[in-house]
């Protein structure tokens, strides 16, 4: 029995060592197998078996924190196709070509800019056209960062009938794309190499010396100059009212020609464009005025009678279309609502240019409106 007891005790003592050797052998056997990272994501996507071609990719010259990165979505569509870009919360990308954004969340990234190029012809033989959406993004954290999944909607018209009722609609889903963002710290940075902070030394202060106020004045002056410089930059970056107004009219006309909007929507949107433009150009709250009051502003500021009549036709049609939408095709000549809206904008620019060319007369009354001054000169 003593021998058996000794053997049992020896087995009990050796059992942990045997278990450790078995685990070590299992780990060595698994070292040769590749490990699949669950966080791995693709950086490029290309659609397959769809009437339109969609290529989405992340283009980065340097994948580091706070470095701008391009997220490009390129869409090639056949002739007659209508492409609807993916929506972005808080940003109307279907009404702009270039837009600066202030750090709007875009999944793991921050959206800082948008650039849209629409309907660029690629091949004159088959009529293929390209639409490209470029989003400028950046990340403030390191590691794997992903973009949100987006969808591109397209509509294909029947080539035989060209009837909108026979249009077919589809969607191309773009999955979330990702990129590994590197840290700004160097690879060899280690806490052991950091130097300790030396203790502060107490220095006596001479009570007889008084602080000079010049440093405070200099600091305040530099701050005021910096704020003024930032304000100047902000004012210069603002687009001119006639620029964005004419662009919105052109986009609305293209949407009408592609049967994407109705007559009532055309008049309603043109009414909004004219009111916002008059408010910015004539320095008057046109968005809060009724139709008659807006027309009084145009007549007061000296707009041509035909131009005022065209503006009256647009605003009146917009008011009526809320209750009885008009039917039939819109006029395509000078009586077209799009041409009437452009005439209001061009007339305002002409009057402002005329007012700037006339030097102020000494002793004359102060005229608050540049357009009103131009009209007085004409009379």
154-184 confidence digits (pLDDT tens): 888 766 545 555 568 889 999 999 988 887 6
For residue 114, which of 142, 140, 86 has the smallest C-alpha distance?
86
The Cα–Cα gap between 87 and 114 comes to 12
Burial environment of residue 13 by CB neighbours within 10 A (0 to 12, 13 to 18, 19 or more): exposed
The Cα–Cα gap between 176 and 44 comes to 10
pLDDT, greater one: 75 or 237: 75
373 Cβ neighbours under 8 A, 6+ residues apart: 355, 358, 367
**Token pair for 8:** 């049992």
Sole residue written with tokens 């009529």: 127
pLDDT of residue 140: 85
pLDDT, greater one: 242 or 232: 242
Most confidently modeled of 95-99, 340-344, 368-372? 340-344
- Whether 230 shows a pLDDT value over 70: the answer reads yes
For residue 318, which of 285, 343, 340, 348 has the smallest C-alpha distance?
340
Question: Which CATH fold would you assign to the domain 44-181?
Answer: Immunoglobulin-like (2.60.40)
pLDDT of residue 80: 77
pLDDT, greater one: 133 or 101: 133
What count of other Cβ atoms lies within 10 Å of the Cβ of residue 151? Answer: 13
**pTM for this structure?**
0.41
Cβ 128 vs Cβ 78: under 8 Å = yes
| pLDDT-based confidence at residue 364 (cuts at 50, 70, 90) | very low
- Whether 292 shows a pLDDT value over 80: the answer reads yes
Greatest CA separation found in the chain? 131
pLDDT of residue 95: 54
- CA 334 centroid distance within chain: 34
Residues of the chain within CATH 2.60.40 domain(s) are: 44-181
The Cα–Cα gap between 70 and 59 comes to 5
Strands 128-138 and 69-77: antiparallel
- List phi, psi (to 5°) of 180: -85, 115
β partners of residue 73 = 56, 133
Burial 359-379 (b: 16+ CB within 10 A, else e): eeeeeeeeeebbbbbbbeeee
185-228 confidence digits (pLDDT tens): 655 555 555 555 566 666 665 556 566 677 778 878 888 888 88
Cβ 278 vs Cβ 371: under 8 Å = no
The Cα–Cα gap between 126 and 131 comes to 16
In three-state secondary structure terms, 37 is coil
- C-alpha torsion sign, points 184, 186, 191, 195: negative
What count of other Cβ atoms lies within 10 Å of the Cβ of residue 50? Answer: 12
């Amino acid at each position: 029995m003593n021998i058996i007891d000794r053997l049992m005790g020896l087995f009990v003592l050796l059992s942990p060592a045997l278990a450790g050797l078995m685990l070590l052998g299992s780990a060595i056997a698994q070292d040769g197998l590749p490990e699949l990272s669950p966080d791995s994501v693709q950086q490029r996507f290309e659609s397959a078996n769809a009437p339109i071609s969609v290529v989405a990719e992340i283009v980065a010259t340097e994948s580091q924190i706070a470095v701008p990165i391009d997220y490009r979505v390129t869409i090639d569509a056949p002739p007659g196709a209508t492409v609807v870009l993916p929506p972005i919360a808080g940003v109307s990308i279907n009404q702009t070509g270039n837009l600066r954004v202030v750090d709007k969340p875009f999944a793991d990234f921050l959206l800082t800019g948008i650039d849209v190029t629409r309907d660029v012809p690629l091949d004159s033989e088959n009529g293929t056209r390209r639409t490209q959406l470029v989003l400028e993004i950046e990340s403030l954290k390191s590691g794997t960062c992903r973009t949100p999944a987006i969808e591109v909607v397209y509509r294909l018209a029947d080539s035989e009938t060209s009837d909108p009722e026979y249009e077919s609609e589809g969607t191309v889903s773009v999955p979330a794309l990702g990129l590994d963002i590197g840290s700004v710290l160097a690879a060899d940075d280690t806490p052991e190499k950091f130097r300790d902070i030396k203790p502060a030394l107490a220095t006596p202060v001479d009570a007889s010396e008084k602080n000079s106020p010049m440093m405070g004045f200099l600091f305040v002056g530099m701050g005021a100059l910096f704020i003024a410089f930032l304000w100047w930059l902000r004012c210069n970056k603002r687009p001119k009212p006639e620029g964005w107004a004419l662009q919105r009219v052109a986009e609305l006309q293209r949407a009408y020609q592609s049967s994407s909007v109705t007559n009532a929507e055309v008049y309603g949107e043109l009414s909004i464009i004219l009111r916002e433009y008059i408010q910015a150009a004539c320095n008057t709250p046109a968005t809060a005025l009724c139709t008659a009051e807006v027309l009084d502003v145009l007549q007061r500021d000296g707009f041509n009678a035909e131009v005022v009549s065209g503006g009256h036709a647009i605003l009146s049609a917009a008011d009526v279309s809320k209750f009885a939408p008009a039917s039939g095709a819109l006029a395509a000549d000078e009586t077209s609502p799009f041409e009437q809206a452009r005439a209001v904008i061009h007339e305002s620019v002409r009057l402002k240019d005329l007012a700037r060319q006339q030097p102020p007369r000494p002793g004359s009354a102060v005229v608050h409106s540049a357009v009103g001054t131009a009209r007085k000169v004409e009379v």
